[in-house]
Amino acid sequence: METPSSSHNHPPATNLFMALFRAFIDILFPPKCLICMRHSIEQEICTQCTASFKPLISPLCILCGSPFLTEGDDNHRCGNCIKEIPPFDIAASLFYYEEKMALAIQKLKYSKKSSLAAHLGKLLSEHPITENVFDLIIPVPLHLSRLRERGFNQSQLIAKELGRNISCNVKASLLERIKPTLPQVGMKRKERILNVKGAFQLREDVDLRGKSILLIDDVFTTGATVGECSKILKKGGANEVSVLTLARVIL
């Protein structure tokens, strides 16, 4: 007589059929890396493309994470952070925004390859900053008009995967983007700061007193967007705001 537990050792016929069907489809249409478009049995980004992403390494600014040109030096404050302390407590990025990393982010955002977020979010979870204890992960929000146009918030998708990997709650609805902003490509730092000023707010019922927040975005350029978000989070009571992005633009 078969016990109830032993019946679970065999997958249902439907699951077996679906597995065989997916294997058949993979034979007919072999999966491809979404970056190099070569056949790959791996996930959305193949090992070769992932290995080509250029990581940011020391020496770095201890506040904004900007890399220094000199090698072998200790981490220290950059000139900008000496002149003006940023609104966040610390910012870090995983890779330089160039070549295949830039292509991966562009495909995620503009070619609706939202499946890339799982791979990129997992990579983000490998940054040392994620070893710290955070109360919440909050992604930089999109304005409703941009969200309708794109269909998803890439930072939210990345944050969701990150949260799953480091076991931290992701709260995407706490911070809202209330003002549509102009695309910031080509803008100087002061122009970017003015562009995002007043663009964000906390939901009225949100209380962040004493909380340690990890703010997530895809790309750090001048820090204007994450800086404005950090100001709002601090005004809402957040004790600490750390920023983590996939990539950093070097101006």
Overall CATH class of domain 53-248: alpha beta
Q: Where in the chain is the domain with CATH 3.40.50?
A: 53-248
Alpha carbons 84 and 118: distance in angstroms, whole number: 35
* Greater model confidence, 7 or 144: 144
* Greater model confidence, 168 or 23: 168
> Average pLDDT for residues 23-52, to the nearest whole number?
77
Give the model's confidence band at 117: pLDDT under 50 very low, under 70 low, under 90 confident, else very high.
very high
Give the model's confidence band at 183: pLDDT under 50 very low, under 70 low, under 90 confident, else very high.
confident
Alpha carbons 159 and 177: distance in angstroms, whole number: 17
Alpha carbons 140 and 112: distance in angstroms, whole number: 18
- Classify each residue of 158-184 as buried b or exposed e, where b means 16 or more C-beta atoms within 10 Å of its C-beta: bbbbbbebbebebbbebbbbeeebeee
Give the model's confidence band at 2: pLDDT under 50 very low, under 70 low, under 90 confident, else very high.
very low
- Cis (ω within 30 of 0) for the bond into 31? no
Asked if residue 165 lies in contact with residue 121, where contact means CB atoms within 8 angstroms, the answer is yes
Residue 178 DSSP class: -
Mean pLDDT, all residues of the chain: 89
Q: Does 119 have pLDDT greater than 90?
A: yes
Closest residue by Cα to residue 183 from 215, 221, 210, 136: 221
Q: Does 25 have pLDDT greater than 70?
A: no
Q: Does 1 have pLDDT greater than 50?
A: no
Give the model's confidence band at 4: pLDDT under 50 very low, under 70 low, under 90 confident, else very high.
very low
Q: Does 206 have pLDDT greater than 50?
A: yes
**What per-residue confidence (pLDDT) applies to 76?**
94
Structure-block tokens of residue 163: 């949260």
Give the model's confidence band at 13: pLDDT under 50 very low, under 70 low, under 90 confident, else very high.
low
* Greater model confidence, 163 or 41: 163
Structure-block tokens of residue 51: 């290995």
Alpha carbons 109 and 238: distance in angstroms, whole number: 29
